[in-house]
Chain A
Amino acid sequence: MNLEYLPELLKGLGTTLELTLASLFTGLMLAILFTIVLSLKVRTLNWLVRLQILLFTGTPLLIQIFLIYYGPAQFDVIKSSIFWPWLSQPWFCAMLALALNSAAYSTLLFKGAIDAVPKSDWEACMALGMTHRQALLRVILPHAARRALPAYGNEIILVMKGSSLASTITLMDLMGYAARLNAQTYDTLTVFTMAGLIYLAMTGILTLLIRFMEHKALAFSRS
């Protein structure tokens, strides 16, 4: 194997990590918001969230990235709006697509975890005079979040790997550098094996981190 490729590939690592972290954070905030909207059955918003989930879980991530990056440029209204400086950047578009995609899957996951919280938790809240909102925010969501953590761990890894699709809209992340290196050298097997190993190492580190968090968050269920 030719280790010379390694420094070149690692130039893209920063972008991959930034993109993953930013989209996970944005996606998580949106997912929490969406979950609250669904759980409290907020009128109208409820349906918008369902539509968002349908669209973003029902179509490929690659199409979402393409549409968000190439789509707005077709409309002069958007090009002259204050959003254009953001929407014309590949980094922001990739982040937005990943975040919306992750938000859709995470919302499903969180809503499932909330529905799986035993009825007795709700009943205890009601019997102590809590309102529906207090019960949800103070007791049910924290319980559900702990239960959802193992599944959300998978989502974290999926977003990290999904970020490689950002290279298709000119972003120079790890995958972007790998593609360029391949085009320059035609040493396809080596280049992509190395890129794959770097992704694998990141998955390994993330898995360990998630295990550690699970261990802390689910301490209550072990005793």
Chain B
Amino acid sequence: MGIAVQSLSKSFGDHQVLRDISFSINKGETTVLLGSSGAGKSTLLRMLNLLESPDQGTLNIANMEFTFHKGQKPSPSSASAKACQLRRKVGMVFQQYHLWPHMTVLANLMEAPVQQGISKAEARDKAIGLLERMGLPDKANAWPSSLSGGQQQRVAIARALMLSPEVLLFDEPTAALDPAITNQVVEIINELQASGITMVVVTHEVDFARKIASRVVYLENGEIVEEGTAERFTAPQTSAFKSYLQH
């Protein structure tokens, strides 16, 4: 099994951003979380690697289970140790790339795996291989700020892949990129899908979603309005999703 989420809820103060979310994703699928801004899709994605913690609900991901009860906080240290374990299996790619600016591309890629016990030589070989795969073989020693947005995004994807994650999460990976560059990200995601990795992608761009999705989850105001296979793009079942697809 890939990911199963059971009755997740989350509030920020009085504002409930997610209510009673349940869905499951099979291994190797690419699921798009679609919705307009404020629908709660980014918060939901960030819960999948516990960058946000749910108020209540159950999360099953990468063979680990996390249960949250309202008003009851798990002890921070054990919770964070388990969260670290989880995040090594669930990679994340951010909208603004989040590369460390003071480290070269190669150092960005090697830092986490070397900390986690892989030898420097092995990490280096893997990094060079991934940069080649991302079409950036000559950028190993470049500073992130010298790269274009699209290049930085590919470095960020390579960095996430360094830990060989079972699941890869993308938070609006194309929102900061121009349309021509978006297609490079589409190609990379489709190539990764062929390699069998489970992906969850948050976006509000319908065209981008169509090109990559094998499943779609459409959210509005913190609730799932529609979910199903990629066929829902051509045959939406709810009027809300239908009208979202049209604009």
Tell me if chain B binds chain A: yes
Residues of A at the B interface (CB closer than 8 Å) are 120-121, 123-132, 134, 138-139, 142-143, 146, 219-221, 223
**A138 and B86 alpha carbons, distance in the complex (Å):** 20
Contact A128 B163 (CB under 8 A): yes
**A128 and B111 alpha carbons, distance in the complex (Å):** 9
A and B contact pairs by CB, cutoff 8 A, 16 listed: A120-B94, A123-B94, A127-B51, A127-B98, A128-B88, A128-B91, A128-B160, A128-B163, A129-B88, A129-B112, A130-B112, A130-B115, A131-B81, A220-B102, A223-B145, A223-B146
**A206 vs chain B, min Cβ distance (A):** 24
**A157 and B157 alpha carbons, distance in the complex (Å):** 44
B96 at the interface (CB under 8 A from A): yes
Number of A-B contacts (CB under 8 A): 72
10 smallest CB-CB distances across A and B, nearest first, come from: A129-B88, A223-B146, A128-B112, A129-B87, A124-B98, A127-B92, A120-B98, A220-B143, A143-B102, A223-B143
Contact A128 B159 (CB under 8 A): yes
Contact A138 B94 (CB under 8 A): no
B116 at the interface (CB under 8 A from A): yes
Q: Which residues of B contact A220 (CB under 8 A)?
A: 101-103, 143-145
**A126 and B98 alpha carbons, distance in the complex (Å):** 11
The chain B residue with its CB closest to the CB of A223 is: B146
The secondary-structure label for the interface of chain A is: helix
**A121 and B102 alpha carbons, distance in the complex (Å):** 10
The chain A residue with its CB closest to the CB of B114 is: A138
B175 at the interface (CB under 8 A from A): no
**B85 vs chain A, min Cβ distance (A):** 7
Contact A124 B87 (CB under 8 A): no
Contact A126 B87 (CB under 8 A): yes
**A123 and B92 alpha carbons, distance in the complex (Å):** 10
**A123 and B112 alpha carbons, distance in the complex (Å):** 13
The chain A residue with its CB closest to the CB of B115 is: A134
Q: Which residues of A contact B111 (CB under 8 A)?
A: 128, 138-139
B84 at the interface (CB under 8 A from A): yes
B99 at the interface (CB under 8 A from A): yes
Query: What 12 new A-B contacts, CB under 8 Å, besides A126-B51, A128-B88?
Result: A121-B100, A124-B94, A124-B98, A127-B98, A127-B160, A128-B163, A129-B87, A129-B112, A139-B103, A143-B101, A220-B103, A221-B145
The chain B residue with its CB closest to the CB of A134 is: B115
**A123 and B159 alpha carbons, distance in the complex (Å):** 14
Contact A138 B115 (CB under 8 A): yes
